[in-house]
Amino acid sequence: MLPPASDQAIPQPLTDQAPAAPAGDRAAPGGPPRARGREPGGFLDPVQLLKAFPEALRKLHPRVMVKNPVLFVVEAGSALTTLSAVLNPSVFTWVISCWLWLTVVFANLAEAVAEGRGKAQAATLRRARTDTVARRLRHWQVGTDLETAKTERVATSELALFDCVVVAAGEPIPADGEVVDGVAAVDESAITGESAPVVRESGGDRSGVTGGTTVLSDRIVVRVTAKPGHSFMDRMIALVEGATRQKTPNEIALHILLCALTIVFVLFVVTLQPMAVYAGAAQSTTVLVALLVALIPTTIGALLSAIGIAGMDRLVRRNVLAMSGRAVEAAGDVNTLLLDKTGTITLGNRRAAGFVPLPGIPEIQLADAAQLASLADETPEGRSIVVLAKERFGLRAPAEGELGYSQFVPFSARTRMSGVDIVWSDRTGCLIRKGAASAVLGWVRERGGGAPAEAGWFADSIAASGGTPLLVAVHDQDGPRVLGVVHLKDVVKNGIRERFEELRRMGIRTVMVTGDNPRTARAIAEEAGLDDYLAEATPEDKMALIRREQAGDKLVAMTGDGTNDAPALAQADVGVAMNSGTSAAKEAGNMVDLDSDPAKLIEIVRIGKQLLITRGALTTFSITNDVAKYFAIIPAMFASAYPGLDALNVMGLASPESAITSAVIFNALIIVALIPLALRGVRYSPSSAHALLRRNLGIYGIGGLVLPFVGIKLIDLLVIRFIPGLG
């Protein structure tokens, strides 16, 4: 027997006065997502270049230069030519020395400009960091009364992991953490730049809060999950400043290739001299160094790190924190995207919308059982059931005297059930469970009960509409039986369908993985326009699916927000956690999206692809554009010894000196000319990766081959005009 509804109030959670802020997180509607700050255009701001100049000079220190062997060789060569210019002064040796030094400075400038942009962003972020006083709770435990709890005021910097702090309307949240009590509207504009408030609440997958954001309404208790100095904001600042940037495996591979090429050319130039002497055409140090610099891949050596920094920077501008460059690169090659349903594809604001009793059961009886099973269920779903039962029937929790003993069964993603075991004061007892249909039916059958067909029908019809059915069952003196179904409603995020279509055009398969039942999953997958879905997935199932895809040589991205997504987020090559999500999810992933927008993956993939393509294109360009320099320098070197070699002087350069000078000047200027491209990235449009690669290798390979012939010739014309003594 169920007790009559009691009128005595229990301390109501804040849910009753849920803030009137828009529910859920902002899903980017069809249009392009808003970027933080202005995206730098194609032209490089001269002011930026000027500002980065001192830093570029500072980087000339050999200790810094040695990290970039290609340019270290150029620097050593510059020093050598300068020495020979001092010992053996001539216009030619001085001009070459100057331009060699400029080559190194320009290379450093590329990196300095990239870093400078990050520093500007970091400064903006620093301003958002708070250093205030926090109200720390003393001897308080989750679930106990807040009114009587004692608080103490401490400086934010003194907060430790797992401290609980109270934050009320108008106050800043002192540290990264998780809401463990209450629900509030939070202004996250300090970190996202977006002014619409978001809801953060305890118990569910929207519990994550970020230090520096402000509570707008109500009051929450936040458990600190990051020590001061190690918050996401701190990590983001370190990232955009380039302080913690590590080379990715791809970058290391390319780096090794560049070093190998450099060594080969150093050996070539060193062994060239004895042969030249033998041929009666001994070369000066200056000429040999100029040849070496022209041959080694200086262009990509100069731009490589700027390309990487700019990629990170582009992500941060779109409010994505990447914890590793490796993940950014992997994003460029992703084949499959897995998304969880609740809170990622839907708003995650899953609320009870109605009670559907089985024939012969009064609705109030179902509502009462459902709310008893939810009294200690701190998930948003559980709280919404309590609220609905109160609204519809004025039902409230049992009074002190009525309850003998009760034991709550918390919800877990594995059991897909929650409930309560109650012994009333008159010593009668009952067990109540609510949860996924298959789980609750299993529970009833295990206890020897059966389920009328209606239970399945009702659940199916709710599921077919995209809702989540929760079956409610009791086991009391009348035996185990199903009472009916609670209809949980959730809404698919606005405009998400178009975004998934865009992913498809990029060649990415989208799969929804959800703990929910297959019918609901199918309805939502169809509505959102996903390629496939996996229903009734436990956390392990989600991870196993990723492993299977990876075994088939696929790169997998996963976005999710729940603790049940954490294993999958950790397993995925690209794990994007929603910033609104639990701290377990955020720790497991290798990226965090501050806007909590699953469609952000489009941006992430685009940036990853752009990074890979830009690096590939500029490497190709760098290697092919050295070819023209052989044609400029080799004939010049041996013109006197082998006049026949003049046939190679296809550019018709004026004199050996002007030819070598022009090649060196071109080599230096091309670095500056390509800085904007390195920072902005090669244009990317969704099409197959192969087509893109072919197109870019074509453009940059042929461009790299042809451009220097024109460029060197033009410079040669200027050189003989304006630098007397080289003509």
Residue of 317, 326, 390, 416 interacting with ligand ATP (CB under 6 A): 416
Q: Produce one character per residue of 364-384: b if its CB has 16 or more CB atoms within 10 Å, e if not.
A: bbbbbbbbbbbbbbbbbbbbb
Considering CB distances under 5 to 8 angstroms, the limit depending on partner class, which of K ion, Mg ion, ligand ATP, none binds residue 194? none
Distances (CA, A) of 88 to 85, 380, 716: 5, 82, 24
Question: CA-to-CA distance for 416 and 573, rounded, in angstroms?
Answer: 28
Question: Is residue 206 near ligand ATP by the rule CB under 6 A?
Answer: no
Question: Is residue 417 near ligand ATP by the rule CB under 6 A?
Answer: yes
**C-alpha triplet 632, 638, 641: angle, nearest 5°:** 155
Nearest partner of 134 among 157, 114, 105, judged by Cα: 157
Contact present, 181 and 142 (Cβ < 8 Å): yes
Question: CA-to-CA distance for 455 and 440, rounded, in angstroms?
Answer: 11
DSSP code of residue 40: P
Question: Is residue 342 near ligand ATP by the rule CB under 6 A?
Answer: yes
Residues 6+ apart with CB under 8 A from 124: 37
Question: CA-to-CA distance for 185 and 553, rounded, in angstroms?
Answer: 43
DSSP bridge partners of 338: 511, 558
Question: Is residue 411 near ligand ATP by the rule CB under 6 A?
Answer: yes
Options 68-76, 142-150, 293-301, 477-485: segment touching K ion (CB under 5 A)? 293-301
Options 185-193, 199-207, 296-304, 601-609: segment touching K ion (CB under 5 A)? 296-304
Contact present, 189 and 202 (Cβ < 8 Å): no
Options 323-331, 408-416, 635-643, 677-685: segment touching ligand ATP (CB under 6 A)? 408-416
Residues 454-483 interacting with ligand ATP (rule: CB under 6 A): 468, 470
Options 9-17, 375-383, 465-473, 619-627: segment touching K ion (CB under 5 A)? 619-627
Burial of 227 (0-12, 13-18, 19+ CB in 10 A): middle
Residue of 341, 351, 586, 609 interacting with ligand ATP (CB under 6 A): 341
Catalytic site residue from 163, 176, 187, 340: 340
Phi-psi region of 139 (alpha: psi -120 to 50; beta: other; left: phi over 0): left
Residue placing its CB nearer to ligand ATP in the complex, 206 or 481:
206
Question: Is residue 349 near ligand ATP by the rule CB under 6 A?
Answer: no
User: Is there a binding annotation on residue 317?
Assistant: no
Minimal distance, residue 612 CB to ligand ATP, in Å: 31
**Applying CB under 6 A, what is the total number of residues that bind ligand ATP?**
23
Considering CB distances under 5 to 8 angstroms, the limit depending on partner class, which of ligand ATP, K ion, Mg ion, none binds residue 377? ligand ATP
Minimal distance, residue 376 CB to ligand ATP, in Å: 11
User: Is there a binding annotation on residue 206?
Assistant: no
Question: Is residue 418 near ligand ATP by the rule CB under 6 A?
Answer: yes
Contact present, 334 and 574 (Cβ < 8 Å): yes
Residue of 97, 108, 156, 298 interacting with K ion (CB under 5 A): 298
User: Is there a binding annotation on residue 414?
Assistant: yes
Per DSSP, helices labelled H in 249-346 are 249-278, 285-295, 298-317, 325-331
Nearest to ligand ATP by Cβ — which residue?
Answer: 515
Q: Is 476 a catalytic residue?
A: no
Binding site for Mg ion (CB under 5 A): 205, 342, 562
Residues 425-454 interacting with ligand ATP (rule: CB under 6 A): 434-436
Residues 623-682 interacting with K ion (rule: CB under 5 A): 626
User: Is there a binding annotation on residue 412?
Assistant: yes
427: part of which helix (H) or strand (E)? none
- 3-state class (DSSP) for residue 394: coil
Residues recognised as catalytic: 340
Residues making up the annotated binding site for Mg(2+) are 561, 565
Under the rule (CB under 5 A), what is the footprint of K ion? 298, 626
Residues annotated within the binding site are 377, 381, 411-418, 434, 561, 565
